[in-house]
Amino acid sequence: MKILILGGTEFVGRSVTEAALGRGWEVSVFNRGHRQPSPGAVALRGDRSAGRAGLAALESGEWDAVVDTWTGPPTAVRDAARLLAERAGHYTYVSTRSVYAYPAAAGLPEDGPLVSGASPDEAGDVPYPQAKLGGELAAVDAFGDRALLARPGLILGPYENIGRLPWWLNRIARGGPVLAPGPRDSPLQYIDARDLAAWVLDAGERRLHGPYNTVSESGHTTMGELLDTCVQVTGSGAEVRWTDPDTILAAGVEPWTDLPVWLPAGEMHDTLHRGDVGKALAAGLRCRPVGETVADTWTWLESLGGIAPQRPDRPPVGLAPEVEARLLATG
């Protein structure tokens, strides 16, 4: 396979690049040049935010498949997809389950209601769900039934540049009592970026099309198993103290951001941790054990001295130490 990856040097894009190279595929990576692609990939330089003028490096060449991880204005997807439509066999757009109208009911499949106000022609700043749905519309407009829409939710694993699992690992590595948001058996739904990458490449090779919810089954792990595994792999001996969600919420702690990954029972949890993934599982999606994801992320994080990369367009996550100490003291 000859594949073009738009992005390809951070988190999901990097995982796709490395997976494709591992298969012996011919890989081209298109980005601005701020980061070098993985060894073995051909580097193509350009700036998608500059419109068609920034796509000069893509004016020639043919590819069996394209993988696009863009998260900004949909016009960038529109312009690239239109330019490549006659010279690429298949186009995968890595979207998100955030394109579903909130709240998304538990068990919502791919044909659930979507957010309103999305357009492939939007060039300015738009909310994340509308931006991603606009990208989906752009991909389908250019490639039709050669367009695959991968809709992950929570993504974890090595190279994470949001900071969710790295925050928990670093916090637990410091040891001592750790505030843990209950209940410990709360089911989680996520995907390791490497499993997403493997499925995307398989699906592109098979020319799958349309939307797929690409995360694990709900309950693939639990909040308790995730944090217990963090304790195990860091070897810190930290004491995980499970705390009632109402106590945490009453203290003004924000789920998902102050305490990454965690969401209390209710609409938000149903939306992000209880989606229907039967279609993707039937199409070959396989998710590795949480222990492997946590251990490999810790190994990678240690190689960076514990300092994970941070996307500039996302605020840092994690609970302030003084807030945690106050809650632990009252527990």
The average confidence (pLDDT) of the chain is 97
Q: How confident is the model at residue 286 (pLDDT cuts 50, 70, 90)?
A: very high
Residue 97 is predicted with a pLDDT of 98
Q: What are the DSSP calls for 296-330, one per residue?
A: HHHHHHHHTTT-----TTS------HHHHHHHHHH
pLDDT tens-place string over residues 94-131: 999 999 999 999 999 999 999 999 999 999 999 999 99
Residue 161 is predicted with a pLDDT of 96
Residue 176 is predicted with a pLDDT of 97
pLDDT tens-place string over residues 205-255: 999 999 999 999 999 999 999 999 999 999 999 999 999 999 999 999 999
Q: Is the pLDDT of residue 330 over 90?
A: no
Distance CA 203, CA 89 (A): 13
**Beta pairing class for 221-222 and 187-188:** antiparallel
329: β partners: none
CB 196 within 8 A of CB 12: yes
pLDDT tens-place string over residues 310-324: 998 889 999 999 999
In order of their start, the domains of the chain are 2-151 (3.40.50.720), 162-186+221-263+290-330 (3.90.25)
pLDDT tens-place string over residues 43-88: 999 999 999 999 999 999 999 999 999 999 999 999 999 999 999 9
Q: Is the pLDDT of residue 331 over 80?
A: no
Taking residues 3-22, report their average pLDDT.
96
Distance CA 197, CA 203 (A): 10
Residue 83 is predicted with a pLDDT of 98
Residue 76 is predicted with a pLDDT of 97
Q: Does pTM top 0.85 for this prediction? A: yes
The helix or strand, by DSSP H or E, that contains position 66, with its residue range, turns out to be: strand 65-68
**Could you check whether the bond before residue 181 is cis, i.e. omega within 30 degrees of 0?**
no
Q: Is the pLDDT of residue 306 over 80?
A: yes
